[in-house]
Amino acid sequence: MATGQLFSRTTQALFYNYKQLPIQRMLDFDFLCGRETPSVAGIINPGAEGFQKLFFGQEEIAIPVHSTIEAACAAHPTADIFINFASFRSAAASSMSALKQPTIRVVAIIAEGVPESDTKHLIAYARSNNKVVIGPATVGGIQAGAFKIGDTAGTIDNIVQCKLYRPGSVGFVSKSGGMSNEMYNTIARVTDGIYEGIAIGGDVFPGSTLSDHILRYNNIPQIKMMVVLGELGGRDEYSLVEALKQGKVNKPVVAWVSGTCARLFKSEVQFGHAGAKSGGEMESAQAKNQALKDAGAVVPTSYEAFEAAIKETFEKLAEEGKITPIKEVKPPQIPEDLSSAIKSGKVRAPTHIISTISDDRGEEPCYAGVPMSSIVEQGLGVGDVISLLWFKRSLPRYCTKFIEICIMLCADHGPCVSGAHNTIVTARAGKDLVSSLVSGLLTIGPRFGGAIDDAARYFKDAYDRGLTPYEFVESMKKKGIRVPGIGHRIKRGDNRDKRVELLQLFARTNFPSVKYMEYAVQVETYTLSKANNLVLNVDGAIGSLFLDLLAGSGMFTKQEIDEIVGIGYLNGLFVLARSIGLIGHTFDQKRLKQPLYRHPWEDVLYTK
């Protein structure tokens, strides 16, 4: 491995398996360091393509998303770092695929628990092809003021406190990502900060070793001293011991191997990492610390003395003139995300949508304050759900039953009415369900199924003003307006619409008052004296009876009733009901595999 620097201010990476927070932290670090280009060139999300929106300082940018590693490497040939956030199940395969790409130089594997046999194959391939693997089970690495991997060094506040926004003079390597964050703080307190830091990962077989990075740091002129934090278990530290003995390292090394407390336990103890398990005296922290000390490393007497040892070594180098004082710079302020600023009470922002009928913020959605589970547990029906979502209150059972009857009676009226006809023609043209449904719904209006609101509006106005049926009908006639809810193409005075009769029977049996319906019946009596087809139709029946429901229930003010009629609630009933039939016609035509419809020419009057 050896050679030198892994990262620079122009380094770019490919990020595998999209994770918003680690990527945003990388981009925030870029901005903090004054980079001109984002360090994440592309994202690889298997099976997905497009873009992901993220922030680069105050600017919102779109980072390309690729479905394969090969496609991403081809699209971003200068991106030579592969940051792998795949799970332990797929991390090895995706990492190997990345290593085989000629453009990829370094692979960082974040996942813990990657099978050891797979890791050994990755290590062998990387070494034979002069590539670097960091991890598995790593948080990654960082070059101060230049580039960082994923969540390395934690939050922006911690990065600023550790002075990682500009390079220092210390090279640091550890097995632990968590302890790396602690050591970045420690080093920043007593030195000019780190130049580069790597957490090799806590698994038994790391892709690169402590000595790999120390030897590499030795070749980087900007690094004047090295700090190593090892741990009990394994023999990785002994490769560093040999390098020191052989004179391959000519810069000061301050080292500590944690886990000295293991001797206090009577039996073998497994610490946090898979590799942190003493398998014998040589793998103990005490033996490793002694070996490092004997080889020439600066080894303190305890972890508590580690900071002082680092400080003393740094100050000695400074006195010798080997370290040039670094001019401190003030990093730019990272813009705070709106969501976190709102949460902390720093800003207030207007909402864009108001909703009063439902709420999905809790453990389960609520309809007008009623939990969905409660609706099911109480055995409520569709009418009750409509009463909650449309009227924002629980209506009496006779009201919700009436709503359900209206839906059942208006669900369909055969294939010949305009809505069903449009749906059938559209379905036979090979269109999808939604297109077929909408084509039928678009025919609903003043001439087809859309007269319920108008019927309610005119009947209410006439009754409330005390007009007789004669005065009402004749005034409408003078205005040139047909009475909504009156008239049918087929039904007659001696052949009433069964649906109207069923609605009237239910209302007379259950409603406290049916004054508007009775008024509509009186109007029908007068219109039948003029023509036998001027009967009260289903629109008129529903419109007048809904007025009785709203007025008779005692749950609505006059203003609320006027608003309900004005907004179009009652036509909503027809739209909801007829959607059932239109969907049925769509399925029927699909099931029958009916061909494209063409209207017969003999049914068309061709004229000049």
DSSP letter, residue 269: -
Give every CB contact of residue 485 below 8 A, 6+ residues apart in sequence: 451, 452, 454, 455, 458, 459, 520, 536, 537, 539, 540, 541, 543, 544
DSSP codes of every residue in 143-177: ETTTEE-TTTT-SHHHHHHTTTTS--SEEEEES-H
Read off φ and ψ for residue 270, nearest 5 degrees: -95, 115
The answer for residues whose C-beta is within 8 angstroms of residue 411's C-beta and 6 or more apart is 577, 578, 580, 581
Q: Give, for 63, the enclosing helix (H) or strand (E).
A: strand 59-66
d(CA 461, CA 453): 12
**CB neighbourhood size of 405 (10 A):** 18
3-state SS, 333-402, equals CCCCCHHHHHHCCCCCCCCCCCCCCEECCCCCCEECCEEHHHHHHCCCCHHHHHHHHHHCCCCCHHHHHH
| CB of 106 closer than 8 Å to CB of 131 | yes
Q: How far apart are CA 164 and CA 145, in angstroms?
A: 6
How, if at all, do strands 59-66 and 106-109 pair? unpaired
| Token reading at 55 | 């922030």
The single residue of 76, 213, 273, 585 carrying the catalytic annotation is 273
Distance in angstroms (rounded) separating the CA atoms of residues 46 and 90: 11
Residue listed under structure tokens 């479905």: 67
Distance of CA 583 to the CA centre of its chain: 31
* Residue count of the chain: 608
Cα–Cα separations (whole angstroms), residue 477 to 198, 365, 470, 493, 543: 88, 50, 11, 21, 20
Residue 214 neighbours by CB under 8 Å, 6+ apart: 171, 173, 226, 228, 240, 243, 249, 253
Cis peptide before 331 (omega within 30 of 0): no
Active-site residue, 273 included: yes
Measure CA of the first residue to CA of the last residue in the chain; give whole Å: 90
Task: Report the alpha-carbon distance of residue 12 to residue 266 in Å, rounded.
Answer: 49
d(CA 606, CA 603): 9
Task: For the chain, give percent helix, strand, coil, nearest 5.
Answer: 45, 15, 40
Beta strand pairing call for 81-84 and 106-109: parallel
CA angle in degrees (0–180, nearest 5) for 10-12-17 = 165
